[in-house]
Amino acid sequence: MSDQAIGSRIAYVRREAGPTRPAPIMTRGVFAWVRENLFSTPMSGVLTIGSLLFVLWVAPDTFRYLISDAVWQAPDGVACRAPGAGACWAFVAAKFEYFMYGSYPRGETWRVDVTLVLGLALILWLLIPRLPRKGMAAFAFFVVYPVVAFFLLRGLEGVLPIVETNLWGGVFVSLLVAAVGIVASLPLGVLLALGRRSQLPFVKFFCVVFIEFVRGVPLITVLFMANTMLPLFVPQEWTPDRLLRPLIGVSLFAAAYMAEVVRAGLQAMPKGQFEGAMALGLPYWKMMRLIILPQALTTVIPGIVNSFIALFKDTTLVAIVGIFDFLRTVETARLDPVWAGPTISTTGYVFAAIFYWVFCFAMSRYSQMLERKLAAGRRR
């Protein structure tokens, strides 16, 4: 019986189960992949070959510059100035301590290391979802740690020698600015977000004006303001510390952006959650602390991490008010006459790029992972 006959018959019953055949070669495995992804149309074929040519053109030169022709060991910049020499990694090695600690006294750098390791441990505790007792971790990180870090880094009369902030610099200051920004902006941002949704008109007005003002101006102008105007606004004998001023500026700036992220989370909360909490007789602050904020903050963790990434990249701007953050130390080091040469700038920037990229990329991957997890949770 021909196949056509089956299809046109009024009545048909399948007597044996249909055969399960392996997919034809073109619909599976490597072949299907190549056809679908590289040569699906003539245009796609042209693009594939063009892109391959581009990669083959760029990749070998990059490899030669960064790896095979690079100068890995040298006492000074002479070898790096040789024609045809690639990246000068010896320069990075020689300046490594400076990049890490700035002018922090060399004998005291263990204090910085201890502070960093402590901070890292606490952050991992906070970030790894499986570890228990997040509340305690948060308390340790947001309240105890800042105090400990302050005395470790600056010193305590009679116990640890004082190190003035104008000696601080390098990666350590970049991380410090970022950490202070993060620690200060989160609670401030939450308060501002709550204030913006408050029913008290003056509170709301103040929060709206503050948030919109800060978000409307560039960070540089905020830093200028903190640096030049803050000393004018306080009694002369108080003159705020040189490093403290940009820290205040960065924190306020980050708080306004954080407030908008948190507000999005509050807005996404179903009304039923507020009503449920009120029906239980919870007063405002308890309702916020126990019911609303834990949920609202969880849903916007990806947004919070994204604003941390932005904050981390923005820490480079504190250089404008004379703070020696990591990028500024690179800028200073590349002008050192011992090393100066045609490849030094690029080497320094590539090194800085790797540092910033690893941090930001890791954070963005983390936020994407959380996003997927949250989405999966919501589906359930």
Partner 1 sequence: MAASPLVKTTPVTNDIAVEIVGMHKWYGEFHVLRDVNLTVRRGEKIVICGPSGSGKSTMIRCINRLEEHQQGTVVVDGVPLTNDLKRIDEIRRDVGMVFQHFNLFPHLTVLENCTLAPIWVRKMPQKQAEEIAMHYLTRVKIPDQALKYPGQLSGGQQQRVAIARSLCMSPKIMMFDEPTSALDPEMVKEVLDTMVQLAQDGMTMLCVTHEMGFARQVADRVVFMDRGEIVEINTPEEFFKNPQHERTKLFLSQILH
Partner 2 sequence: MSDIQMRQPHVPWWNEPKNRGFVYQSLLFIVLAFLIWSAVDNASTNMRARGIPTDFSFWNRTAGFDVNLTLIEFSAAASTYGQAFWVGLLNTLMVSVVSIIFATILGFGIGIARLSSNWIVAKLATAYVETLRNLPLLLQLLFWYNAVLKPLPGPRDSVSVPNISFVTPDIVPTIVCAFIGGVGYAATRYARTIGGVAVIVANAIGALLMLTAVAIWLSGVVRFSGKAGIYLNNRGLIFPEFVETADTWPFAIALVVGIVGSLAFRHWARGVQKETGDQMPVALVAMGLIFGLPLLTTLVFGAPFDLARPELRGFNFVGGTRILPEFAALMFGLSLYTASFIAEIVRAGILAVNKGQTEASSALGLTRAQGLKLVVVPQAMRVIIPPLTNQFLNLTKNSSLAVFIGYPDLVQVFAGTVLNQTGAAVQVIAITMAVYLVISLVTSFVMDIYNKRMALVER
Interface residues with partner 1 (CB under 8 A)? 3-4, 6-14, 17-24, 26-28, 32
Smallest gap, in angstroms, from Cβ of residue 229 to partner 2? Answer: 6
Nearest to 366 by CA among 283, 279, 306: 306
**Could you say which residues in the range 236-265 bind partner 2, by CB under 8 A?**
236
Among 79, 316, 370, 371, binds partner 2 (CB under 8 A): 316
Cα separations in angstroms, 310 against 198, 225, 307, 364, 380: 27, 20, 5, 10, 32
Determine the interface stretch with partner 2 among 3-11, 23-31, 107-115, 285-293 (rule: CB under 8 A).
23-31
Q: How far apart are CA 255 and CA 63, in angstroms?
A: 42
Range 200-229, binding partner 2 (CB under 8 A): 200-203, 206, 212-213, 215-221, 224-225, 228-229
Backbone angles phi, psi at 158, to 5 degrees: 90, -20
Alpha helices in 217-243 (DSSP H): 219-224, 230-233
220 binds, among partner 1, partner 2, none (CB under 5 to 8 A by kind): partner 2
Scanning residues 275 to 304, which ones bind partner 2 (CB under 8 A)? none
Alpha helices in 163-300 (DSSP H): 171-196, 201-216, 219-224, 230-233, 244-268, 271-279, 284-286, 293-299
Nearest residue (CB) to partner 2, 198 versus 295: 198
How near is the Cβ of 325 to partner 2 at its closest, in Å? 10
Is 21 or 130 the residue whose CB approaches partner 1 more closely? Answer: 21
Binding partner of 28, given partner 2, partner 1, none, CB within 5-8 angstroms per partner class: partner 1
Gap between the Cα atoms of 293 and 75, Å rounded: 56
Question: From the list partner 1, partner 2, none, which binds 364 (C-beta under 5 to 8 Å, kind-based)?
Answer: partner 2
Reference 108, options 93, 121, 97; nearest CA is: 97
Residue 52 is a binding residue for partner 2 (CB under 8 A): yes
The CA–CA distances, whole Å, from 167 to 146, 322, 328, 329 equal 19, 12, 13, 12
- Supply 241's token pair: 């510390």
Binding mask 344-373 for partner 2 (x = CB under 8 A): -xx--x--xx--xx--xx--x---------
| Cβ closest to partner 1, residue 1 vs residue 279 | 1
* Identity of the residue, 97 or 212, whose beta carbon is nearer to partner 2 in the bound complex: 212
Q: What is the DSSP string of 76-139?
A: STHHHHSTT---BHHHHHHTHHHHHHBTS-GGGHHHHHHHHHHHHHHHHHHH-TTSS-HHHHHH
Q: Which is nearer to partner 1, 8 or 199 (CB)?
A: 8
Query: 306 CB contacts (<8 Å, ≥6 apart)?
Result: 261, 364, 367
- Check if the beta carbon of residue 365 is closer than 8 Å to that of residue 358: no
Minimum CB separation of residue 34 from partner 1 in Å reads: 15
Q: Per-residue string for binding with partner 2, 97-126, x by CB under 8 A?
A: ------------------------------
Please work out the total of residues on this chain that contact partner 2, with binding judged by CB under 8 A. 71
* CB-nearer residue toward partner 2: 161 or 218: 218
Beta carbon nearer to partner 2, 31 or 96:
31
29: left (phi over 0), alpha (psi -120 to 50) or beta: left
